[in-house]
């Protein structure tokens, strides 16, 4: 998709604040600092629309980015950030769970993991949980610029094995917001999950 117009439309913590539209939505989930906001910026060709930071825990609400009035990207707070209080972590968990289980126009979830490491317990739980709710999942192994191409196959099999990856309803893609590797493929996946996709 050629993206010209993007606005950060709504910051929400509860369903009453979600945008009232029927546009399809794609959510981005993953550990804090894994690169969700960077992926958002890369996909929409903006350097700093989604706030990124070397400090984890930057994104604290569900941020709805209206892309070309065609869909929303929903940037979700990262999990697994130790410095967030237990209470806040529970509130984040509830916010994400409510969104994913109740949002009719959610078309798919991009679940980010770090290409360099085996998925964490929380990555595995997130994948199992999305899978349980039958949400289409694209596992994106990000920061791929930090590993050599020759290690891609190995890294992919480590990640898929740990996740107990089910290729029936999940896809996998390496990605780098630094080199833009995988950007077209991620867009293609998103477009394939739009209700009005062409050539369907």
Which residues are at the interface with Mg ion (CB under 5 A)?
A: 36-37, 58-59
Residue 4 half-sphere exposure toward CB, CA atoms < 13 A: 0
- Is the Cβ of residue 180 or residue 197 nearer to ligand GTP in the bound state? 180
Residue whose CB is nearest to ligand GTP in the complex, by number: 78
Q: For the CA atoms of 26, 132, 86, 51, what is the dihedral angle to 10 degrees?
A: -10
Q: Is 30 helix (H, G, I), strand (E, B) or coil?
A: strand
CA separation for the pair 70, 173 (Å, rounded)? 23
Residues 73-92 interacting with ligand GTP (rule: CB under 6 A): 77-78
CB of 51 to ligand GTP, least distance (A): 7
d(C-alpha 77, C-alpha 37), whole Å: 10
Q: Is 59 in the site for ligand GTP (CB under 6 A)?
A: yes
Q: Which of 53, 101 has the CB closer to ligand GTP?
A: 53
DSSP state of 16: G
Cβ closest to Mg ion, residue 36 vs residue 193: 36
Q: Which two tokens stand for residue 145?
A: 């610029």
Q: Locate 48 and state its tokens.
A: 């700093």
Q: What are the strands of the beta sheet with 170-174, ordered from one edge? A: 6-12, 62-67, 71-75, 25-30, 106-114, 137-142, 170-174
Quote the longest CA-to-CA distance of the chain: 48
- Cβ 25 to ligand GTP shortest distance, Å: 17
Q: Binding partner of residue 146 among Mg ion, ligand GTP, none, CB under 5 to 8 Å per kind?
A: ligand GTP
Residues 178, 183, 187, 194: which binds ligand GTP (CB under 6 A)? 178
Q: Interacting stretch for ligand GTP, rule CB under 6 A, among 34-42, 102-110, 131-139, 189-197?
A: 34-42
Of 20, 54, 82, 104, which one interacts with ligand GTP (CB under 6 A)? 54
Residues that bind ligand GTP (CB under 6 A): 30, 32-38, 52-54, 56-59, 77-78, 142-143, 145-146, 176-178
């Amino acid at each position: 998709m050629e993206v010209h117009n993007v606005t950060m439309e709504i910051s929400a913590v509860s369903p009453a604040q979600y945008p009232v539209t029927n546009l399809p939505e794609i959510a981005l989930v993953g550990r804090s600092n894994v690169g969700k906001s960077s992926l958002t910026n890369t996909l929409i060709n903006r350097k700093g629309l989604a706030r990124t930071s070397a400090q984890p825990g930057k994104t604290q609400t569900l941020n709805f980015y209206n892309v070309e009035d065609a869909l929303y990207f929903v940037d979700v707070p990262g999990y697994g950030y130790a410095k967030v209080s237990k209470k806040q972590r529970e509130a984040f968990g509830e916010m994400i769970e409510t969104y994913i289980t109740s949002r009719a126009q959610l078309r798919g979830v991009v679940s980010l993991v770090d290409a360099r490491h085996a998925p964490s317990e929380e990555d595995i739980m997130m994948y199992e949980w999305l899978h349980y709710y039958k949400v289409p999942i694209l596992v994106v192994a990000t920061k791929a610029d930090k590993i050599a191409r020759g290690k891609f196959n190995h890294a992919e099999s480590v990640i898929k094995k740990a996740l107990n990856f089910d290729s029936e309803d999940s896809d996998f893609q390496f990605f780098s917001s630094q080199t833009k590797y995988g950007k077209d493929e991620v867009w293609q996946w998103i477009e394939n999950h739009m209700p009005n996709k062409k050539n369907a």
